[in-house]
Amino acid sequence: MASFRKLVELYEELDNSTSHMKIIELLAEHFQSLEPAEVKITAYLALGTIGPRFEKIDLGIGDKYGIQAISRAYNVDKEKVEIAFGNQGDLGDVASALNERQRSSLTLNYVFQHFVQIRDISGKGSQKRKINLLAEVLSKARPLESRYIMRIAQGNLRLGFGEKFLLEALALAFTGSRDNTSKVEDTYNICTDIGQLGESLANHGMDSLGKFSIKIGRPVQMMLASRVDTMEELNEKFSGTMAAEEKYDGERVQVHVDGDNIKAFSRRLTYISAQFPDVIEAARESVKAEKIVLDGEIVAYRQGEFRPFQELMQRRRKYHVEEYVKKIPVTVFFFDVLYLNGKSLMKWSYPERRQVLEENLVETEKVKLAGRVVSADFSRIQHFFDDCVEKGMEGIIIKSVKAKSTYRPGKRGWLWVKWKKEYIEDVRETFDLVIVGSYYGKGRRKGSFGALLCAVLNESEKRYETLAKVGTGFKDEDFEEINDLLKKYSIEKKPVNILIDSNMQPDNYIEPAVVIEVIGSEITSSPSHTSGQENSGNGYALRFPRFLRIRYDKGPGDATTVEEVKHLK
């Protein structure tokens, strides 16, 4: 049985490693030394979580509870813990400094099971029970172990890498080669539970790839759309009949209906049913099938009118949900179906799926089918686009109607292509960039950030490369929100998956976690930015970047890619 200590040693080694390859090797070697069931647990713990993204993973241990647990575990006054926390800023470090225990025999399983128990405590007196249980685990741990127990309990592990590294390490550990990473990634698009996938790879190696199918309750990665530069290109790409659907500016949602049990998942595959009880109820009313998985977009919608994205974002909340259900009514527009009564429909063509969708939904005020036209006459498509823009929509998504128009989870291919109004209104483009650094503000912005260093994703290198320093476009209310996020994600050391030129050194490094939408005029080349930089030559830079909004619905893995920027150049 694996000890927890071994995992802690791995954490320490990972924390001291700065090379991508080294991290993959360390992880792979560690995985190989474990039983399959331990691989499962370790896959979660290596990412600092205790389960797949689509389950509840928050243990509910804020600083206040953490301080009490440490005080109890090590018999130290709460005030003393608070002072140490004030000085050190990390409760993991505080716990390890106050812990004087020299021995421990904690197993990996013991620690993991206790994390799960802490998470599951709810109801009356839950605060006290959570603290007691965490204190019990801490009291049995050695100093170094308590550091990581605290960090995981608070969702604060931050080793500077994400799922992509882990998938690569699993490929190396169990298929014999990193070259199989993209196959492992494809499987992960369908089996999005990284622990389950890890365990299966440990058991069956290559044989487990491609064996997974969509399952109710486990969301698949969402299919995405590509973009083109001109409307003529659309016509060429889809020659003949095509479908054009309204493109809504809202939040992507995958709804899983299993009889009375209905769940909603976000584009990042997090569980969002609690935020949208009205969507769950609306689906209950509209869906005719016993078991079905639907794909759609939640939009702020009032009396037949589309409301702006910003309004919908106010629905992203833990508290006062009922109040906001009334204040900001939403409608969900469904455009796809992936599963019906025990059968995956992902290999079916889009026209076949659309038919199933229409047969299984009753439209109401709160549930609608995506509006569309299907035509071989391109001028009809153009008119449809104009109408959509008129109605306040973002644009259209053209969808292939060919026999091969399957649903491809996690893929941004040419079966779906978006065409947005920004593309014609102006030459300006929007980019989804990841914040990787910040600079101190001066003058009126003293005490706040002055500018943000932002990056695009280099998919093949699995790292973030800088494209712009964004210092304009922020409204007064944005500062507080962004400062909070910067505080949350700021890290001392530059993570290995960020590439920053020496000319651009920020005052603070920010862990890649927050995505912002930025508008800019054109892509130029620059010696100070690292995106697309080959052999230390010039990189791409965005001219006149301006902040538009925070994209909470996107994770760093959804950012604009270097390839996309290259395409626009």
From the annotation, which residues make up the binding site for ATP? 245, 252, 267, 297, 335, 412, 418
Q: Is-contact 437 510, C-beta < 8 A?
A: yes
Give the integer Cα–Cα distance in Å for 113 and 322: 33
State the nearest-atom distance from the C-beta of 447 to ligand ATP, in Å.
Answer: 32
Place of tokens 């069931």: 37
Of residues 121 and 550, the one with the C-beta less far from ligand ATP = 550
* DSSP symbol at 462: T
State the nearest-atom distance from the C-beta of 222 to ligand ATP, in Å.
Answer: 6
State the nearest-atom distance from the C-beta of 163 to ligand ATP, in Å.
Answer: 19
Of 252, 291, 383, 546, the residue at the interface with ligand ATP (CB under 6 A) is: 252
Place of tokens 């494209």: 467
DSSP letter string over 17-63? ---HHHHHHHHHHHHHTS-HHHHHHHHHHHTT-SS-TTS-------H
Q: Is-contact 195 203, C-beta < 8 A?
A: no
State the nearest-atom distance from the C-beta of 268 to ligand ATP, in Å.
Answer: 11
**Binding map of ligand ATP across residues 203-242, x = CB under 6 A, - = no contact:** -------------------x-xx-----------------
Of residues 93 and 245, the one with the C-beta less far from ligand ATP = 245
Of residues 130 and 368, the one with the C-beta less far from ligand ATP = 368
Give the integer Cα–Cα distance in Å for 374 and 144: 62
State the nearest-atom distance from the C-beta of 4 to ligand ATP, in Å.
Answer: 39
Of residues 168 and 245, the one with the C-beta less far from ligand ATP = 245
Give the integer Cα–Cα distance in Å for 332 and 300: 9
Residues touching ligand ATP: how many (CB under 6 A)?
16
**Binding map of ligand ATP across residues 350-389, x = CB under 6 A, - = no contact:** --------------------x-------------------
Taking each helix axis from N to C end, the angle separating 126-140 and 63-73, rounded to the nearest 10 degrees, works out to 50
Give the residue among 433, 460, 413 at the shortest CA–CA distance from 514.
433
CA distances from 467 to 227, 478, 512, 529 (A): 19, 21, 14, 6
State the nearest-atom distance from the C-beta of 370 to ligand ATP, in Å.
Answer: 4
Could you give the angle at the alpha carbon of 195 between the alpha carbons of 192 and 198, nearest 5°? Answer: 95
Of residues 85 and 334, the one with the C-beta less far from ligand ATP = 334
Q: Is-contact 338 295, C-beta < 8 A?
A: yes
Catalytic positions, please? 247
State the nearest-atom distance from the C-beta of 542 to ligand ATP, in Å.
Answer: 16
Q: Is-contact 520 467, C-beta < 8 A?
A: no
Site membership for ligand ATP, residue 44 (CB under 6 A)? no
DSSP letter string over 214-251? -BTTBPPPPPEEEE-SSHHHHHHHT-S-EEEEEE--SE
CB neighbourhood size of 323 (10 A) = 10
State the nearest-atom distance from the C-beta of 402 to ligand ATP, in Å.
Answer: 17
Of residues 151 and 267, the one with the C-beta less far from ligand ATP = 267
Phi (first) and psi of residue 450, to 5 degrees = -100, -35
Of residues 225 and 373, the one with the C-beta less far from ligand ATP = 225
**Binding map of ligand ATP across residues 383-422, x = CB under 6 A, - = no contact:** --------------x--------------x-----x----
Give the residue among 423, 434, 422 at the shortest CA–CA distance from 459.
434
Q: Is-contact 413 272, C-beta < 8 A?
A: no
Q: How many contiguous H segments (helices) and E segments (strands) does the chain have?
A: 21, 22
Of 112, 248, 423, 489, the residue at the interface with ligand ATP (CB under 6 A) is: 248
Taking each helix axis from N to C end, the angle separating 36-46 and 20-32, rounded to the nearest 10 degrees, works out to 150
> How many residues appear in the chain?
569
The residues near 119 (Cβ < 8 Å, ≥ 6 apart) are: 50, 56, 57, 58, 59, 60
Of 168, 193, 245, 564, the residue at the interface with ligand ATP (CB under 6 A) is: 245
Of 148, 165, 276, 335, the residue at the interface with ligand ATP (CB under 6 A) is: 335
CA distances from 442 to 446, 448, 453, 471, 491 (A): 5, 8, 16, 12, 22
Of residues 506 and 555, the one with the C-beta less far from ligand ATP = 555
Which span (100-108, 208-216, 243-251, 353-361) binds ligand ATP, by CB under 6 A? 243-251
State the nearest-atom distance from the C-beta of 193 to ligand ATP, in Å.
Answer: 21
Phi (first) and psi of residue 501, to 5 degrees = -75, 150
The residues near 10 (Cβ < 8 Å, ≥ 6 apart) are: 26, 27, 30, 46
Of residues 238 and 248, the one with the C-beta less far from ligand ATP = 248
Of 471-490, which residues contact ligand ATP (CB under 6 A)? none
Of 114, 140, 147, 247, the residue at the interface with ligand ATP (CB under 6 A) is: 247
Of 38, 93, 297, 511, the residue at the interface with ligand ATP (CB under 6 A) is: 297
The residues of the shown chain that bind ligand ATP, judged by CB under 6 A, are 222, 224-225, 245-248, 252, 267, 297, 335, 370, 397, 412, 418, 432
